[in-house]
Chains A and B, each alone.
Chain A
Amino acid sequence: MKQIFLVCQNVDCKNRGSEQLMKELERQVAERGLSDVEVRSYICFGACQDGPNIVLYPEKSWYAGVKMEDLKDIMNHLAGGPDVKRLDKIDASLKELIYQLLDTGVF
């Protein structure tokens, strides 16, 4: 199944470097020739305080407060490596709500 990195590009995440993170993710995905992985900008996940936020969907892994040096572990997880638990900081009820929203396909 195709996996999509949803990278928040709303104001707070952008101020914390999400634009650069997105470019770097795109570069790494292209470099590895991952045709079943897409990188997309996302409107907002409602967790700006913990940004930059990236959600891997439909797997539903949420990475909060991502820094450039975290991308290596995230890509490693995508290739079958362990979850990046240190970036799993978001309140469960918010995650549930946002995943519900993603499942609707509206965003």
Chain B
Amino acid sequence: MGKIITFDDWIDHFQEWRKDIGYDPSLLGDYKFETKLDELHHSEIEFGDFRGQHKWERVEQIPNQSIRDGLLNLIVYQGDTEFASVEQQKNLLDTAPTDYDRQALIRVNREEMRHGWQMCYLLMTYFGDSGKLEAQKLLERRAFKGNRLLGSFNAPVNNWLDFFTYTQFVDRDGKFQLTMLSHSSFAPLAQSVTAMLKEEFFHMFTGNTGLTRIIRAGKVPTPIIQKYFNKWLSTAYDLFGTDHSSSAHWAYVWGLKGRYNEHEAKEQADKSRLNDLARNLYLDECQKLVEALNQYIPADRPRLFVPDLKFNRSIGEVAGKTYSVKGEPLSAEEHQKHLAQVLPTPEDKRLLDAIFKEKDWVLQMN
């Protein structure tokens, strides 16, 4: 493919990307990809040093290059996750437990593609040559080659327990990120992600109802479900970024990305702990969801839980440290043994494959 100059060129690349990853276009029926811009929550910048000024409609209105670079980076990271998730999930189409689930997966995939489209629209429209280059690179990285920008988006989604856990917890990180961007000082980004958020909720719904159906069916052992929670939640914690992030600090100062609870929070933002704050709010929400799932587990079976924030982390102060799922420090040797016990293993996969051969592992929808 040639160099990308116009958005039409980018669309050609997008179609090539779909072919390259093996996504059959007929699955999408007559779905038309489009750019959606929702209404702004506020026309004025809502927080940070530029608070009260009119939101920036064009990049040229942004006062300096550091802010423009920071904004570009936020859009690139968001866009990268969208295309990556389709690459991770497309192999599940042939093993959908019901037709309803297959349709739900196709809907999730097409909306993630549209979100990637939306981010590329911003890059192509507002960021000149550097935006065009980044929009092209978003279609060149591949989850299955391990070169997507964030860890969760390179991890394999091997089966439908993976998928439901992913949509429950990783897409929920997406909700947090989009909410934090929905109050952005750059108006086209705020308008874009507000529209994307509406679609993101169906993805979390798919995860939540899918896990509920698995648990109610009672065929997949709870300890195996727990291992998938450990796998995805620990990597989802990383998605919130490092503990004392200067990027998050400046994104807040510049009004680009707010707190998840920006308008409910009574206290001033602690700009040195913004990622940590979001991660803790995410943890609280996940704990509530897991408690709700536990209501469906018979009393004689183990409860599900949310792993400790220190478990299996790849970034931040506890990156590479040897903590258990409950947050206890372990020796390096103990930790290796522990990981083999609390993360999915080839043996678990064999057991799941056998369980998945029968239809009754998940409540049927049709």
Contacts and interface: CB of A to CB of B under 8 A. Distances in A.
A11 B365 contact: no
Given A101-B100, A104-B366, A106-B365, A50 B208 contact: no
- Tell me the dominant secondary structure on chain B's binding face: helix
A47 B199 CA distance: 8
Contacts of B213: 106
B202 interface: yes
Given A49-B198, A101-B100, A101-B365, A44 B285 contact: no
A39 interface: no
Given A104-B366, A106-B363, A11 B289 contact: yes
A11 B260 CA distance: 14
B289 A94 contact: no
Given A11-B289, A106-B213, A106-B363, A48 B204 contact: yes
A18 interface: no
Contacts of A10: 208, 289, 292
Interface in A59-103: 91, 94, 97, 100-101
Contact of B209 (A11, A91, A100, A107): A107
A53 B304 CA distance: 27
A94 B197 contact: no
A46 interface: yes
Contacts of B197: 49
A46 B172 CA distance: 12
A79 to B, nearest CB: 31
Nearest to B365: A104
A100 B365 CA distance: 9
A47 B285 contact: no
B205 interface: yes
A46 B205 CA distance: 5
Contact of A94 (B202, B208, B363): B202
Most chain B Cβ neighbours within 10 Å, of A46, A94, A100: A46
Contact of A48 (B201, B206, B292, B366): B201
Contacts of A43: 208-209, 212, 292
A77 to B, nearest CB: 25
A5 interface: no
B219 interface: no
B41 interface: no
A44 B366 contact: no
B93 to A, nearest CB: 18
B209 A44 contact: yes
Interface in B290-314: 292
Contact of A11 (B202, B288, B364, B366): B288
Interface string A10-54: 111000000000000000000000000000000111111110000
A53 to B, nearest CB: 10
Interface string B88-114: 000000000000100110010000000
A85 B285 CA distance: 32
Most chain B Cβ neighbours within 10 Å, of A10, A44, A100, A101: A44
29 contacts: A10-B208, A10-B292, A11-B288, A11-B289, A43-B208, A43-B212, A43-B292, A44-B204, A44-B205, A44-B208, A44-B209, A46-B202, A46-B204, A46-B206, A47-B202, A48-B204, A48-B205, A49-B197, A49-B201, A94-B202, A97-B103, A97-B104, A97-B202, A100-B100, A101-B365, A104-B100, A104-B364, A106-B365, A107-B209
Given A46-B204, A46-B205, 15 more contacts: A10-B208, A43-B208, A44-B208, A46-B201, A47-B198, A47-B201, A49-B201, A50-B198, A97-B103, A97-B107, A100-B100, A104-B366, A106-B213, A107-B209, A107-B212
Interface of A: 10-12, 43-50, 91, 94, 97, 100-101, 104, 106-107
